[in-house]
Structure 1
Amino acid sequence: MMTIYTVREGRTVRGEGIPTADELRAAIWIDLLAPTREEEQAVQAALNLEIPTREEMQEIESSSRLYKEEVALFLTANFLYGVDEGEYGSTAITFVLAESHLVTVRYATPKAFAVFSNRALRTPALLQSADGVMLGQFEQVVDRLADVLERVGADMDRASRAAFRNARSHSKVKVKARDAEMKDVLIALGEVGEVTSRANETLLGLSRILTFVGAEKSTAVRKEAKNSIKTLMRDVRSLVEHAAFLNNKANFLLDAVLGIINIDQNGIIKTFTVASVALMPPTLVASIYGMNFAHMPELGWHLGYPLALLVMVVSGVLPVFYFKRKGWL
């Protein structure tokens, strides 16, 4: 789907479908969402720009993601999307920045893009220049990632409190309820780590793009945009540091939760070990008197049977008292 944004008489005009070549040349921002071959050819013919294919956008080499052709800059990075829906992922988005046009090629819709397009409809000043549109989108992405990281931090704090509250809870708490709560904590920490990693990937991609744009001498980037680029780079660096902090905290909490689970499991194993050790002497006594030898004097005693039972009980209780005295129980 192709969407074009043009400013006419102080108003933002949005058009969909395949416009004419004149309409494409008049547009400030051309947004291609999962474009068809016909849409790609229309943009290429009108603007004399080569639109990268989806396979080319997936390449990870820096030279394939950040390069210049004549005056146009081709910038590709992975962006986080789908956090609100719970089905998050990363999608490659390419920005083709020319002197008077910005072409975005994407196959998913991060929320920051939808928010920026709605803002552009209300505020035509956002579409004054192609590089201004791109930097405005980057600012929206950075703001969105900041909100995501704040939410991730809050989710991590809740998971942390739940884990340690569970660890301090008394033994009267049902085992199934504790196991279910610890499972929820592990799932929450796993999601936190996944979202943080993908957010960090987006921030690193933005950092590379901004560094490339700031260093590249191109008429597509105005001198007035340099200050915005520097500000964005500072914001991106601060978020990268915060994302690294959250990732380290998630790893620490994951280790702590696994340690708590190991302690609980060790307690269960210890119980089974004590039970097996306590049952070994009675089993030995019962095995001895279960042998089929002809001459076993105890079998003829009148009190032989209750005496054997008494020996089995005493031999089973003594190890338990020994373990308690040692503090192993």
Structure 2
Amino acid sequence: MYSVGYCVSVTALIVAVLILTQLRRLRCTRNLIHCNLFVSFILRGVSVLTRDALLFKEKSMLQAETDFINLSREKTMVGCRVAHIISLYFLAANYYWLLVEGLYLHNLLIVVSFSEEGVLSRYLLLGWGVPILFVVPWVVVRQLYENTQCWERNDNSAHFWIIRSPIVLAILINFLIFLRILRILVLKLRANQMRRSDRKYRLAKSTLTLIPLLGIHEAAFNLIPEESAKGGFRYSKLAAELLLSSFQGLLVAILYCFCNKEVQSELRRKRQNSLNGSRPSCAPRAMHPSPRRPHGAEDLMSDSSVARTSQY
């Protein structure tokens, strides 16, 4: 089932990336961060599917004993390990791009003098560069001390914590950011003096929108390490984690591209221009996404639209 989830998510994310990169009015720091997050989801999904295919091929060769099969198995083993390393890197990069989204949203809402000048290069370094710093040491340790099969098993859990610790740290930071943003939303909703039922609805809507963007559900899964879960509970936890992770990319693409009013408006404008057979007219200056005040920060902090987190 999770293979279907990754395939659907990858397809939706590719479409979302094409939309955000091809429509010139949508090019801003916020959407470039979204694009990098989408790409990390795409690469994570493709690498997982590739690794699983090689794992299946490697296990099927365990049944045979001929020299030819053994030689093929050695080559497959090398490819399987390389695919596993790549999948772990993209997994880590995906978590760190979720962290980038959290940090960017936090800075927009809370840091008064936040400037976007030069911030994208630092985010690129954090999202794509930092995971290398702990994936490479893990590869060295596995090669020296636990060079068995396709490296998919972690018989010595201490080795895998080289990768798991930085990922758990990123999840924890995002969870703290989520709580702080939630507190801001509660305070703004109370200041609106709306009916209690309406306030609860808006808070729930904003919370649910932030969960896939920041990967908050991962905090619940990481509270219980895989090695401490036993029996049926372990398999249930693993199944739920795989299912949610595989469809997370689809949910993020829907919320932050396909259901985004700015994107929908630009697509309608493009379609209208195409139907009219006329050239796209230059947009008024106020319509361009401002690099200093990205669309979404004002929506979240304004009294009239505090619940429009999805427009971030």
Which of structures 1 and 2 has the bigger CA Rg?
Answer: 1
Q: Judge same fold: TM > 0.5, yes or no.
A: no
TM-score by length of 1: 0.26
> Of the two structures, which has the highest relative contact order with CA contacts closer than 8 Å and spacing of 6 or more?
2
TM-score by length of structure 2 reads 0.27
Which is helix-richer, 1 or 2?
2
Higher strand proportion (structure 1 or 2)? 1
